[in-house]
Amino acid sequence: MLKNCYQETDVTVSWDPNNNWVSVDWRNMPSQQTVKDGCEEVLKLLISRRATAVFNDNRQVTGPWVRASNWVADDWFPRLMAAGLKRFAWIESPVSTLSVISAKKSARKHQGVIRLFKTGPEAEMWLRGEGRDVADRHMASHRRRLVLR
């Protein structure tokens, strides 16, 4: 069960004790200030828990957060990595193309640490160190089972 550590209308930051990672749930169209505040809370929790992984869920984001994207890529991510971040699983918004573009910009800048995903299960597998190839095979197997039914 997640332990809620910070909550605003458009973001919840939690600790996942079962997986030992920070879990972030973004919603709606977070303002630039909300993005910065939420991100700073993620950094604080990562440091206090000595975590190395973040599960960053954008599936409920409905609009762009372009104004904060440079700050996220150029300021926040370097500080996260300096604090010990090894893996950042970023689940894309299925409805906001601009949100996905911003996510891809950050992912390109910090390749190897940030990975983009379409689903939670594949992101969780990668965070656990099972690799994207394993996650891809798992999802393909799951799709085959659904087709065979």
What domain range is 23 assigned to? 3-148
Q: Which residue has the tokens 């394993």?
A: 134
pLDDT in tens, 67-118: 788 899 899 999 999 999 999 999 998 887 666 666 666 666 666 789 999 9
Q: Please give the Cα distance from 10 to 6 (Å, whole number).
A: 11
pLDDT in tens, 19-64: 999 999 999 999 999 999 999 999 999 999 999 999 999 999 998 7
Residue 142 pLDDT:
46
- Residue 44 neighbours by CB under 8 Å, 6+ apart: none
Q: Using 50, 70 and 90 to split pLDDT, how confident is the model at 18?
A: very high
The residue among 120, 68, 45, 135 whose CA lies nearest residue 90 is 120
Q: Which residue has the tokens 């690799």?
A: 131
Q: What is the CATH number of the domain that holds 15?
A: 3.40.50
Number of domains in the chain: 1
